[in-house]
Amino acid sequence: MNMLRPPLIFAASLAAAVIFAGCNRPASAPGAGGDAIKIGEFASLTGSEATFGQSSHKGTQLAIDELNARGGLLGKKIQLLTEDNQSQAGQSATVVRKLISSDGVVAILGEVASSRSLEAAPICQENKIPMISPSSTNPKVTATGDYIFRVCFIDPFQGTVMANFARQTLKLQNIAVLTDVKSDYSLGLAKFFKAGFVAGGGRLAVEQNYSGGDKDFNAQLTSIKAANPDGIFVPGYYTEVGLIVLQAKQLGLNVPIFGGDGWESSSLVPIGGAALEGDYFSTHFSPEDASPAVQNFVRQYRQKFNEAPDAMAALGYDSAMMLADAINKTGSTDAAKVRAALAAEKGFPGVTGNITMDADRNASKPAVILTITNGAFKYVETVSP
């Protein structure tokens, strides 16, 4: 029994310390007290999806810095509290509870992946804290409750846009679909694309899958080549798309390849190179857009981070800007009022288009289709919902 004493004492003191820390609830009214407005953000800053989380976070940070440089909100500075969920399941719930219960934030911004947004959304809903997801496209995210919003479009819209584009503009008949089975985003987009394409009179030549993180797609592409399609839809992320396109061209698959907003990144073209020429993807904005909002964003972002912003950065930026707009309109940080103002957003001039909240709190806004010419993204057309 003697031997047990040191660990038991240690455990008891640990437990006591934790309970003591645990009872330390924030005394002031959430966020409004003190000299700053606290906004919480959760993102995958490390781990397997860090590249998406970091982009989104940079966009958000840029928006907050810009707002603070203009004098903040309601005469107060904004404090952005960012917590990392290491791209791991289960962590988002923990950090969002921390942001709400321990830090007392007025609103939550995040995440890129729908699975992690879905972990956080019920918590925000239960605590009646508005949450804006920058780029989770699964329809279920905002269906959680009336405090959950998003600034991106959802899978059914984007899938249909690309299906119509493939069918009507590219005049494709017989296409292959290459889906990332590890990614809910890829699965959702593929599902609605296939439905739209078949409804439009097209045919699916073959369906192949990969897992996010793969580097070798020769096996899948060889099978696709054997099915002889006239186009390939790849609803994946740029982390894999560059290599997929490269390997397709090496195997002699000279058909147009196209995808969704997961393609947009400054690291796509360096990896895919010339193989990407003439391919298409749908996204939220065109860097060529002459509107002052877009031009200002692209310039500021380049200045601060020394790279071109991608779709996730633009959406992160818009999520923060739209929240600030709602708080400004409300004139307070009262959660219910901010929620109402967010739900009433109409034609908010974001970088990613004019955002109007629909009845399901999804952003209704046009999609842009871009093509890759001479290693640069070029505007093709705009599709309104």
Residue placing its CB nearer to other proteins in the complex, 277 or 381: 277
Residue placing its CB nearer to other proteins in the complex, 268 or 293: 268
Q: How far is the CB of 195 from other proteins (least distance, A)?
A: 15
Report whether 229 contacts 177 (CB < 8 A).
no
Q: How far is the CB of 348 from other proteins (least distance, A)?
A: 29
**How far is 153 from 135, CA to CA, in rounded Å?**
8
Q: How far is the CB of 272 from other proteins (least distance, A)?
A: 9
Residue placing its CB nearer to other proteins in the complex, 208 or 362: 208
Q: How far is the CB of 218 from other proteins (least distance, A)?
A: 4
CA distance to 246, 297, 385, per residue, from 62 (Å): 33, 9, 29
Q: How far is the CB of 302 from other proteins (least distance, A)?
A: 16
Q: How far is the CB of 64 from other proteins (least distance, A)?
A: 15
Q: Write the secondary structure of 192-212 as one string of H (helix), E (strand) and C (coil).
A: HHHHHHHHCCCEEEEEEEECC
Q: How far is the CB of 5 from other proteins (least distance, A)?
A: 9
Residue placing its CB nearer to other proteins in the complex, 103 or 146: 103
Residue placing its CB nearer to other proteins in the complex, 187 or 343: 187
**How far is 246 from 270, CA to CA, in rounded Å?**
11
Residue placing its CB nearer to other proteins in the complex, 30 or 53: 53
Q: How far is the CB of 234 from other proteins (least distance, A)?
A: 13
Q: How far is the CB of 11 from other proteins (least distance, A)?
A: 6
Q: How far is the CB of 170 from other proteins (least distance, A)?
A: 25
Q: Write the secondary structure of the chain as one string of H (helix), E (strand) and C (coil).
A: CHHHHHHHHHHHHHHHHHHHHHCCCCCCCCCCCCCEEEEEEEECCCCCCHHHHHHHHHHHHHHHHHHHHCCCECCEEEEEEEEECCCCCCHHHHHHHHHHHHCCCCEEECCCCHHHHHHHHHHHHHHCCCEEECCCCCCHHHHCCCCEEECCCCHHHHHHHHHHHHHHHCCCCEEEEEEECCCHHHHHHHHHHHHHHHHCCCEEEEEEEECCCCCCCHHHHHHHHHHCCCEEECCCCHHHHHHHHHHHHHCCCCCCEEECHHHCCCCHHHHHHHHHCCCEEEECCCCCCCCHHHHHHHHHHHHHHCCCCCHHHHHHHHHHHHHHHHHHHHCCCCHHHHHHHHHCCCCEEECCEEEEECCCCCEECCEEEEEEECCEEEEEEEECC
Residue placing its CB nearer to other proteins in the complex, 109 or 322: 109
Residue placing its CB nearer to other proteins in the complex, 103 or 230: 103
Query: What is the length of the chain?
Result: 385
CA distance to 147, 298, 364, per residue, from 265 (Å): 30, 13, 23
Residue placing its CB nearer to other proteins in the complex, 139 or 366: 139
Residue placing its CB nearer to other proteins in the complex, 84 or 325: 84
